[in-house]
Amino acid sequence: LNERVPEAEPNDEIGQLTRSINELLERLEASLNREKQFTSDASHELRTPLSVLRGTLEVLIRKPRTSDEYVEKIKTSLATIDRMSATIDQLLALAREEKGKNLVKEELELITFLEEIVDEAAVEHNRKIIFQSQSGVPIYVKANEKSLQMILSNLIQNAVKYSPQDSEIVVKTGITHALPFIEICDRGAGILGEHLDKIFDPFFREKSVVDQLIPGTGLGLAIVKKLAQESGIKISVSSEKGVGSTFRLDLPIS
């Protein structure tokens, strides 16, 4: 694949054709390289906790322990297994092709739908989350409820995870230029400008969050991007390091 068709006469039709073929080969190569990288990153992501697990069990078997020590080691091992399961679930979500039946769109009223999601998330994360609607009238959209729910729960979870416990999180909705939108705003760590297009790549995490040992796999936003694409939702982000981030969803017209 890394070979190219030689371009003999750059200006004639054959020259143009060979250029197109070469461009196609380049794109194919880039896509295969991305897949290779993904497989290698995914294996690494699972191999690391597996090695930790193996180490723990080997130490346990080497010499007898008190029952308290056994319980403690088994508990940490179970937590490692749970984290690996969560990673596998995310990898499957990323690999799954939602076609036909699974992506049936229903009519949803956005304000009621979001109020419910925000209330549930506030309880789940034990965090105050403010909901604001800029529309005085109901907003009807056609969407796949499960996909939209998953997109929102990932974005709200990130807002919670990457901002201080007492800082404000706001979920907004409204209509601009006749199109419904949803925004999730936090006053947290923010994201470096140069990383704004990378955060949707599988396994990408900013160094600062890795250094702070904030748990995560770097798969959440890749799943969000895939679900949004499948549903025709445009996702954008604006952020400033140390100030906060706003993730915006522009929904297709009902």
Instruction: Work out whether 209 is an interface residue with ligand ADP (CB under 6 A).
Output: yes
Rg (CA), the chain: 23
Single out the residue of 108, 191, 228, 249 in contact with ligand ADP (rule: CB under 6 A). 191
Single out the residue of 49, 174, 216, 252 in contact with ligand ADP (rule: CB under 6 A). 216
- CA torsion sign, 23 to 29 to 35 to 41? negative
Instruction: Work out whether 121 is an interface residue with ligand ADP (CB under 6 A).
Output: no
Task: Mark 151-170 with x for binding to ligand ADP (rule: CB under 6 A) and - for no binding.
Answer: -------xx--x--------
Instruction: Work out whether 45 is an interface residue with ligand ADP (CB under 6 A).
Output: no
Number of residues that bind ligand ADP (CB under 6 A): 21
Which residue's CB is nearer to ligand ADP, number 109 or number 240? 240
What is the rounded distance in angstroms from the CA atom of residue 156 to the CA atom of residue 153?
A: 5
CB 247 within 8 A of CB 156: no
- Write the burial class of residue 101 (CB in 10 Å: 0-12 exposed, 13-18 middle, 19+ buried): exposed
At 171, list the tokens.
């979920």
- The alpha carbon torsion through 149, 147, 108, 236 (nearest 10 deg) reads 80
Single out the residue of 114, 148, 156, 189 in contact with ligand ADP (rule: CB under 6 A). 189
Distance of CA 145 to the CA centre of its chain: 18
Task: Name the residue with the smallest CB distance to ligand ADP.
Answer: 216
Q: Interface with ligand ADP by CB under 6 A: which residues?
A: 158-159, 162, 186, 188-191, 199, 204-206, 209, 216-222, 245
